[in-house]
Structures are given as C-alpha cells and as structure tokens.
Amino acid sequence: MSRNAKAATTKAAAKPAAKRKGGKYQMPDPLPNGEILTDLCKKQWKLGPSIGKGGFGEIYSATEVASQGKNSYVIKIEPKENGPLFVEMHFFMKVCKADDIDKWMSSNKIKFLGLPRFVGNGSHQHNGKPYRFVVMEKFGKNLDSVLKENNNVLDKEFIFKIALQVLDALEYIHSRGYVHADVKGGNLLLGLKKGSEDKIYLVDFGLASKYSSEYKPDPKCAHNGTIEFTSRDAHVGATTRRGDLEILGYNMLRWFTARLPWEDKLTDCVYVQQEKLKFMNDIPGQIQKCFGSQPVPEALTKYFQYVALMAPTASPDYDLCRSIFQEGLKAGRKPQITSPKGDHKPAKNSVSKETKNANKLETTDIQTVERKRRSPVKAVNNEKKRVTENVTEDSKPSRPMRAARNHVANGYVPESDSFSDDSDDFLPEASPKQKQTVKRRSNDKNKGSPKKKRQ
C-alpha cells in the first residue's frame, strides 16, 4: 500500500475529538490494581498502583504478565479521544526504537543515551470507555524534585553533567528530524536501575514535531511550550533545533540562580518574549544581573553567545557545545574531587582544531564572527521582528494549557493505533492547520537527574 493510500486509510478512521469543558482534557477513570492490558503485540501487562497524573492521563507502574517480575515498567493511559498521548506514542514508534538508539550510540561511540526505549502500546476498554496506552521503561524522580530538595539550585559540576547528557539526547532527536521543544526539570528523570541512578533521561514528547529546512514563523502557534523556558523561535511560532539548545540554556541559568529574569510575569507571553530578546542581545550584562555578586560561569556565557549567533535553520555544532560544557565541568569541579568513573568524555579526536579554538572565543571574537555573517543574521532578525509585531494579545492564551499537536490539534484523533512504520503522517511538519498554541506553566509532575560517558 502506498503512503498516500495509508494516509487516506488513517483519515478515514479518524473521528472528531470530544469537546472538553473549559479547554481541559478528559481524565481517565481510576483503573483497579491488577487490571490486565493487552498491547498490539499481544503482550499482557498487569497494572500496579498509580504513580502520577498529568494534564491528560494517568501513569501506573506495571509488570509484564509473562515475566512475573517487579514493576519495572510504567503505563501511560488516557481517554482515546484526547490526543496528546497519540502524538507521543507515535513519536516513540518512529524515534525511540531500541535498535535505532543502539545503532546511533555505536556509530557515535556513546555508552549511554538518556532516552526511554519504546516498549509497547495498545487500546483498552474499562467500564465501556475506550482508552489508549503506551508502555515505557520506569525511571526515578524528576529533576524538579531534586531542585526542591536543594533550595532550587544545583551544584555547578552537576549542572554541566546534566547539560552534557541532555545535549546528546537532543542531538539524537535532531538526527531523526525532530525537535523536543519542552526540555525542563519535570521532563528530566533519574535512572532507577542499578548503575543508572546518576543518569538523566529526557522524556515527554507531547510537543515533539518535525523541523523544517526553512524558517517559518507562524503567529498562530506563537509562544508554544513551557513559557519560562521556551525559545525566541517558539515565541514566534517557528520550530528549530537552535530553539532546543536555547531552552536548555534557560534551564541551566535557572538551575544556577533559582530564578529567571522574566518569571514575575509568566502570564504575559509577549512580555516574556521581549525579555528574552533583551537577554540574548546583551548576554554578559544580563547574566551578571542574574548572578548578582556571584561569579558567572564563563562556559554558560559562551554557550549562550554561541546560540545567539546561530542561524535559525543551522545544524548545531554539538561538538563545540560539548567542549564548552566540558570546560564548565572542569572549572566547577572541586580540586579534591578526582575524576569519577563514568564522567562524560568527548570522543577521542572528535573535536577539530577549529572547534577547540572556537571554544576560546571571547565576546569581541564572537562579535567579529557576527560581522562576517551579518547579512543573513540581519535578514533573519528583520523577519523575526516583523512576525513578532504581528503577535498581539489576541494570540495569547486565556490561561496556560497544553494540547495535542499537528493533525490531532485540528480536532481529529485516529481511532486506530496501527500506523505504518514508514509513514510520517502522525507527526507532520508544523503548519498553521497542524499546530495548536500551547502555553503552560512548568508544574508537570514527572521525574529526573544526571551523569554521562562518551569515549
């Protein structure tokens, strides 16, 4: 069957999503402990206790019936008419297959990649109501929990270890043609298995989407993401890889200082957007304000300066970012602490001489680079300014909320969960008809924290 035929079949199986009161998604009824769910591969899963709730569904610990093992998995379940889990489920199927991840790790000489592996998915009926579910690995607590235990700040060395692991996860996601768009403490989970307690896993792909080779701002999709962390590109409705890097930078800044400069008005999306533009136009000065009398990690400044100079559609220089984080890790390490086994190390000879020199750029050097590429940068900035001016109060949400993306956001959720492996229909390229504005605060309850090794 051709891809067009498969797409037609999928559309034929779709039905309008149920309307939600007050813009909220329906929550599933509580499922009893011991309930058996059967996935599409006929594997049976026994539900354990509920371990959390999100904006659209509930998360249960689970055991594979055939293995009679411990609750080493989790099952996310939501009413079938909702949609967000539908998007995440098919992202898992396209991007998070164990064989694909292992192959990429081998080719990049990486011993760990902090992404969950796809386990299974299916449909379930309970009390006459249809539900959709996905089976995933089980992880530990999230990074937000760690922050709360440490007065909302983290150790410098710890922060750069997290950044190195998240960078690897983003590089893999980007290599598959997608962006994550929602990096934050609530979506970074600590490992649970023995030997992985110091590893970080990036989860929650409800906002994942394909990026384009063209820069396509879209006012209808302005301010997508978690408002305090979302990127300048997302504020104008554009999907970019540099946006993921910028979001990571804002998270790092918050882990260092416990607060971002624009957190006083998070309900005003345009205000937050303008504050971020101001920040990225005066990185050394704005970062110093965040740190007050405390010294600013030079590596953090360099990282933001690199992101500020990136063209919107450029492929990130991951090796350069990695070397900057390594520099920060080395500077943040206490003299009496020796390099522990398992530290994140760049691949041997993987960083070119030019990259090493670029890592030593000072502010004046970066300004020189900017002059060399002034024309394209200026053109992009003019376009962003034009689009930003069209983002009015009308484009802002009445309150922060999260929703399904792409064709699901149009009000249609396919009844079938059986998608072709070679089809991209479930997550089409971002467009006005396929994306839904998502503005929400960062109070998701999930799990996360770090450590890494790269040979």
User: pLDDT in tens for each of the 455 residues of the chain?
Assistant: 444 444 444 443 333 334 444 455 667 778 999 999 999 999 999 999 998 876 667 899 999 999 877 768 999 998 887 767 888 888 999 999 999 999 999 999 999 999 999 999 999 999 889 999 999 999 999 999 999 999 999 999 999 999 999 999 999 999 999 999 999 999 999 998 888 888 999 999 988 999 999 999 999 889 999 999 999 999 999 999 999 999 999 999 999 999 999 999 999 999 999 999 999 999 999 999 999 999 999 999 999 999 999 999 999 999 999 999 999 999 988 654 344 444 454 444 444 444 444 444 444 444 444 444 444 444 445 544 544 444 444 444 433 333 444 444 444 455 555 554 555 444 444 444 334 434 444 444 444 444 444 54
**Unique residue bearing structure tokens 């399904």:** 404
What is the C-alpha to C-alpha distance for residues 71 and 348, in angstroms, rounded to an integer? 39
Torsion sign, CA atoms 428, 432, 435, 441: positive
Radius of gyration of the chain (CA): 22
Say whether both 67 and 181 belong to one domain: no
Say whether both 212 and 107 belong to one domain: no
Domain count, the chain: 2
* 265 carries a ligand binding annotation: no
pLDDT on residue 196: 83
Structure-token pair, residue 283 = 């990185």
Residues belonging to the active site: 182
Range of the domain at 103: 3-137
pLDDT on residue 438: 42
| Residues, the chain | 455
Q: What is the per-residue DSSP string for 375-444?
A: HHHHHHHHHHHHHHHT--GGGS-SS-B----HHHHTTEEES-----TT--TTSPPP-TTT----EE-S--
Helix (H, G, I), strand (E, B) or coil at 171: helix
Residue 119 sits in a domain whose CATH number is 3.30.200.20
Q: What is the per-residue DSSP string for 187-207?
A: GEEE--STT-TT-EEE---TT
Given 84, 117, 137, which residue is the final one in a domain? 137
Residue 285 sits in a domain whose CATH number is 1.10.510.10
Given 106, 137, 168, which residue is the final one in a domain? 137
Say whether both 47 and 131 belong to one domain: yes
Let me know if residue 433 belongs to a domain: no
CB–CB of 201/114 below 8 Å?
A: yes
Say whether both 231 and 251 belong to one domain: yes
Q: Do strands 36-38 and 44-53 pair parallel, antiparallel, or not at all (unpaired)? A: antiparallel
Let me know if residue 419 belongs to a domain: no
Say whether both 128 and 150 belong to one domain: no
pLDDT on residue 358: 41
Let me know if residue 317 belongs to a domain: yes
Say whether both 118 and 220 belong to one domain: no
CB–CB of 55/25 below 8 Å?
A: yes
Given 102, 137, 172, which residue is the final one in a domain? 137
Say whether both 100 and 233 belong to one domain: no
Say whether both 86 and 180 belong to one domain: no
CB–CB of 266/248 below 8 Å?
A: no
Say whether both 132 and 149 belong to one domain: no
Say whether both 124 and 147 belong to one domain: no
Say whether both 237 and 326 belong to one domain: yes
Helix (H, G, I), strand (E, B) or coil at 132: strand
pLDDT on residue 55: 60
